[in-house]
């Protein structure tokens, strides 16, 4: 039973009036995998995730989440899921400790509340009311409530929106801890860095369907991944696109000795992503690309 | 890809926790949250006690009272039943209509919907909270009335029996209508602005702040459609002398009509509530 995928979606469709929000989307998430769903606003990410969570009815297609149809699944199924919604302002008057303990009671095999509080780093806030938490601490509380039931599959919807860089790093460590427990995670995010850091696989959704997927380092295929070598000649700057930058640099070094202005550039995940959703010219890393290797 | 080691946690799933136990847990949680929200405690819990004190003091100056053939009814005694009815309406209807609208708007309902908490347990928690609040509030109200304003309490079981059934039926229909009404405000912020005027108007036309028989008859007729008037009348039959029934518009306490109207609102609230209840905000699909 554990070998079946955690999530299986095929030809999923959902329309709101005239607008086809999800238009034949296919998605498989294996057990233990961390998958990041990327896409512009309105691409159908949230609609898809909410169908998987059982919040919305679909118009068509097959959906299996932990082996069941979310539209018909009951409490036992819910107790195997963890859902962390986009940030909310509820739960104001209860303390962290009370909330985690209270939510633990909903589940048949909950984690120990204190362990969960430690895991999300809220030990010092255990007696603090939710309304007094900072944005990052609040999000950690959301995660604590999402995982206290020992879920097999966790949905994280834009978990770090509005975080400062340190809070984001801490949050990633928290998710990494979940991965070690074998928890399957489906994550939506706007931060490519986050997807790159956390996900085994990135799924890019645009206009209601999957336009690309793969490991963060492979996304977009080889062409999108070609390195760009730049150097300066007496006639001005030159650049060449190549699959074998090392060979090219060796060749250049043979010609010039120390190559003036040498840069080897690789497209970032962001470049690849933008080209996939059509906001940038395909396969051309734009000028301000992050240098990955720089000659000495 | 690091997927091979994962999914290796075979679990035999235990049964999900019982609905009744969860309802009890929710009751505790709801009560704690309610009493931490200071403005709610004052406007819902303390309001009838404060109003009784003010009205009994203002109208009761110079020992003013309402004349009956066999004696007098002090204003504190005359207003107590209306304040009891108001208290029930506030802790049941106003409390739930506002708090559920706010919870929905803030995403709390959606969060709960994503957990295995059964809907029944959520509502049991609300009902439990309302029952405890109602009992406490009415106890304080009666204590203040008896100790501070010397209002005589009923001496026989029959009056107390009436008190209990009017209280329970009134609380039940108020709570159910509150749940149904909570879907009306468009946002949590507008909830008290939408709910409070309804409650206030009902208080004025239902004989809570005035002697009901002295209101214009069209106002009495409008009030007769709503449960507050009937709850107040039921409570008057408990706390006023039996002969005060002649001050009623019909000249009697009309226990049958009271039960019928409260029950009708309970059924209407239930039907409407079941059809309109939403776990998510309106703009959330």
Distance from CA of A228 to the nearest CA of B (A): 27
Distance CA B192, CA B206 (A): 20
In A184-223, the residues whose Cβ lies within 8 Å of chain B are 184, 200-201, 215
Q: Which residue bears the tokens 């962001």? A: A270
B182-210 pLDDT per residue, tens: 988 888 888 888 888 898 898 888 888 87
- List of chain A residues whose C-beta atoms are within 8 Å of the C-beta of residue B39: none
- Spans of chain A below 70 pLDDT: 1-2, 221-224, 279-296
What pLDDT does A293 receive?
A: 42
Distance CA B219, CA B212 (A): 9
CB contact under 8 A, B110 and A16: no
What pLDDT does A170 receive?
A: 83
Distance CA A182, CA A195 (A): 18
Considering only the beta carbons, identify the residue of A16, A88, A184 that sits closest to B107.
Answer: A88
In A148-167, the residues whose Cβ lies within 8 Å of chain B are 149-150, 152
Find the residue in A nearest to B118 (Cα): A75
CB A163 within 8 A of CB A139: yes
Q: Count the helices and strands in chain A (H runs, E runs).
A: 10, 13
Q: Is residue A138 part of a domain?
A: yes
Single out the residue of B100, B141, B145, B139 nearest to residue B123, CA to CA.
Answer: B100
Q: For residue A135, how many other CB atoms are within 10 A of its CB?
A: 14
Q: Is residue A280 part of a domain?
A: no
At A219, give phi and psi (nearest 5°).
-55, 140
Residues 6+ apart with CB under 8 A from A234: none
Same domain for A196 and A252, yes or no, is: no
Tokens linked to A101: 């303990």
Q: Is residue A18 part of a domain?
A: yes
B49-95 pLDDT per residue, tens: 888 888 888 877 767 777 777 778 888 888 899 999 999 999 999 99
Considering only the beta carbons, identify the residue of A2, A88, A106 that sits closest to B17.
Answer: A106
Q: Is residue A231 part of a domain?
A: yes
Contacts of A19-26 spanning 24+ positions with Cβ under 8 A: A20/A208, A21/A47, A21/A208, A22/A47, A22/A48, A22/A51, A22/A58, A22/A208, A22/A209, A23/A207, A23/A208, A23/A209, A24/A61, A24/A208, A24/A209, A25/A61, A25/A205, A25/A208, A25/A209, A25/A210, A26/A209, A26/A210
Single out the residue of A85, A246, A91, A253 nearest to residue A154, CA to CA.
Answer: A85
Supply the CATH number for residue A166's domain: 3.40.50.300
CB contact under 8 A, A149 and B8: no
Same domain for A166 and A254, yes or no, is: no
Same domain for A130 and A66, yes or no, is: yes
What pLDDT does A99 receive?
A: 95
Q: Which residue bears the tokens 């776990």? A: B279
In A70-89, the residues whose Cβ lies within 8 Å of chain B are 75-76, 78-81, 83, 85, 88-89
Same domain for A194 and A255, yes or no, is: no
Find the residue in B nearest to A29 (Cα): B3
Same domain for A233 and A164, yes or no, is: no
Same domain for A129 and A253, yes or no, is: no
Considering only the beta carbons, identify the residue of A78, A81, A182 that sits closest to B8.
Answer: A182
Q: Angle between the B227-239 and B75-89 helix axes, to the nearest 10 degrees?
A: 140
Same domain for A206 and A239, yes or no, is: no
Q: Residue A151: which H helix or E strand, with range?
A: none
CB contact under 8 A, A6 and B7: yes
Same domain for A26 and A160, yes or no, is: yes
Q: What is the mean pLDDT of residues B39-49?
A: 83
Considering only the beta carbons, identify the residue of A30, A94, A108 that sits closest to B13.
Answer: A108
Considering only the beta carbons, identify the residue of B2, B22, B36 that sits closest to A105.
Answer: B22
Distance from CA of A294 to the nearest CA of B (A): 29
What pLDDT does A177 receive?
A: 86
CB contact under 8 A, B116 and A78: yes
Distance from CA of B61 to the nearest CA of A (A): 42
What pLDDT does B15 receive?
A: 81
Single out the residue of B204, B202, B209, B215 nearest to residue B248, CA to CA.
Answer: B215
Which pLDDT band holds residue B3 (cuts at 50, 70, 90)?
Answer: very low
Checking if the pLDDT of B125 tops 50, the result is yes
Distance from CA of A238 to the nearest CA of B (A): 37
What pLDDT does B28 receive?
A: 94
B85-123 pLDDT per residue, tens: 999 999 999 999 999 999 999 889 999 999 999 989 999
Work out the widest C-alpha separation in chain B, in whole angstroms.
Answer: 92
Same domain for A20 and A104, yes or no, is: yes
Single out the residue of B97, B74, B283 nearest to residue B174, CA to CA.
Answer: B97
Q: Is residue A275 part of a domain?
A: no
Tokens linked to A48: 């898809």
- List of chain A residues whose C-beta atoms are within 8 Å of the C-beta of residue B4: 32
Give yes or no for A17 touching B (CB within 8 A): no
Count Cβ–Cβ pairs < 8 Å, chain A vs chain B: 125
In the three-class reduction of DSSP (H, G, I as helix; E, B as strand; rest coil), residue A175 is classed as helix
A227-282 pLDDT per residue, tens: 888 998 888 888 888 888 888 899 888 888 888 889 888 877 877 888 777 754 43
Q: In chain A, how many domains are there?
A: 2
What pLDDT does B207 receive?
A: 81
Same domain for A64 and A111, yes or no, is: yes
Q: Is residue A278 part of a domain?
A: no
CB B213 within 8 A of CB B223: no
Same domain for A118 and A171, yes or no, is: yes
Of B271 and A41, the structure prediction assigns the larger pLDDT to B271
What pLDDT does A222 receive?
A: 62
Q: Which residue segment(s) compose the domain that A61 sits in?
A: 7-213
- List of chain A residues whose C-beta atoms are within 8 Å of the C-beta of residue B118: 75
ipTM above 0.90, yes or no: no
Distance CA A243, CA A225 (A): 8
Q: Is residue A95 part of a domain?
A: yes
Single out the residue of B106, B231, B125, B109 nearest to residue B168, CA to CA.
Answer: B231
Q: Is residue A132 part of a domain?
A: yes
Single out the residue of A108, A177, A180, A188 nearest to residue A155, CA to CA.
Answer: A188
CB contact under 8 A, B2 and A30: no
Tell me the CA distances in angstroms from B205 to B33, B73, B213, B263, one per residue in order: 32, 21, 11, 21
B223-265 pLDDT per residue, tens: 888 999 999 999 999 998 888 888 777 878 889 999 999 999 9
Distance from CA of A191 to the nearest CA of B (A): 21
Same domain for A114 and A160, yes or no, is: yes
Tokens linked to A1: 């039973």
A191-222 pLDDT per residue, tens: 888 888 899 999 999 989 998 888 887 777 66
Tokens linked to B123: 């509502």
CB B28 within 8 A of CB B133: no
């Amino acid at each position: 039973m554990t070998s079946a995928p955690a999530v299986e979606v095929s030809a999923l469709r959902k329309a709101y009036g005239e607008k086809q929000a999800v238009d034949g989307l296919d998605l498989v998430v294996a057990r233990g995998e961390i998958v990041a769903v990327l896409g512009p606003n309105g691409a159908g990410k949230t609609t898809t995730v909410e169908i998987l969570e059982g919040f919305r009815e679909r118009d068509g297609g097959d959906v299996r989440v932990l082996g069941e149809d979310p539209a018909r699944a009951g409490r036992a199924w819910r107790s195997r899921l963890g859902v962390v919604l986009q940030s909310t302002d509820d739960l104001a008057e209860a303390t962290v400790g009370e909330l985690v303990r209270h939510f633990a009671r909903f589940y048949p095999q909950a984690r120990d509340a204190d362990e969960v509080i430690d895991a999300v780093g809220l030990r010092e806030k255990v007696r603090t009311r939710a309304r007094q938490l900072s944005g990052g601490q609040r999000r950690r509380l959301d995660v604590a409530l999402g995982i206290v039931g020992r879920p097999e599959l966790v949905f994280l919807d834009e978990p770090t929106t509005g975080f400062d860089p340190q809070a984001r790093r801490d949050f990633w460590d928290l998710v990494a801890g979940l991965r070690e427990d074998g928890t399957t995670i489906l994550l939506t995010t706007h931060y490519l860095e986050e997807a790159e850091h956390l996900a085994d696989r990135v799924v890019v959704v645009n206009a209601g369907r999957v336009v690309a997927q793969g490991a963060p380092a492979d996304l977009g295929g080889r062409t999108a991944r070609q390195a760009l070598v730049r150097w300066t000649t007496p006639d001005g700057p030159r650049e060449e696109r190549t699959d074998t930058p090392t060979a090219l640099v060796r060749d250049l070094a043979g010609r010039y000795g120390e190559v003036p202005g040498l840069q080897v550039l690789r497209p970032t995940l962001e470049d690849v992503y933008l080209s996939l959703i059509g906001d940038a010219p395909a396969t051309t890393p734009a000028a301000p690309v992050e240098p990955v290797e720089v000659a000495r | 890809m690091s997927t091979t080691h994962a999914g290796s946690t075979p679990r035999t799933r235990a049964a999900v926790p019982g609905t009744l136990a969860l309802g009890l847990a929710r009751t505790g949680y709801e009560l704690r949250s309610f009493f931490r929200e200071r403005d709610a405690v004052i406007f819902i819990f303390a309001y009838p006690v404060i109003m009784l004190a003010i009205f009994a003091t203002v109208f009761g100056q110079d020992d003013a009272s309402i004349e009956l053939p066999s004696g007098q009814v002090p204003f504190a005694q005359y207003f107590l039943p209306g304040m009891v009815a108001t208290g029930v309406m506030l802790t049941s209807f106003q409390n739930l209509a506002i708090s559920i609208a706010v919870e929905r708007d803030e995403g709390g309902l959606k969060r709960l919907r994503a957990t295995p908490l059964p809907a029944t347990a959520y509502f049991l928690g609300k009902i439990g909270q309302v029952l405890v609040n109602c009992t406490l509030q009415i106890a304080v109200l009666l204590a203040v009335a008896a100790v501070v304003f010397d209002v005589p309490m009923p001496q026989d079981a029959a009056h107390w029996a009436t008190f209990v059934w009017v209280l329970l039926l009134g609380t039940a229909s108020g709570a159910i209508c509150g749940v149904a009404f909570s879907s009306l405000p468009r946002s949590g912020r507008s909830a008290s602005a939408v709910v409070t005027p309804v409650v206030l108007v009902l208080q004025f036309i239902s004989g809570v702040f005035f002697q009901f028989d002295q209101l214009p008859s069209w106002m009495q007729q409008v009030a007769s459609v709503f449960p507050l008037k009937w709850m107040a009348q039921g409570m008057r039959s408990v706390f006023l002398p039996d002969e005060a029934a002649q001050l009623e518009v019909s000249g009697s306490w009309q226990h049958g009509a009271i039960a019928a109207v409260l029950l009708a609102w309970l059924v209407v609230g239930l039907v409407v509530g079941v059809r309109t209840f939403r776990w998510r905000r309106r703009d959330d699909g």
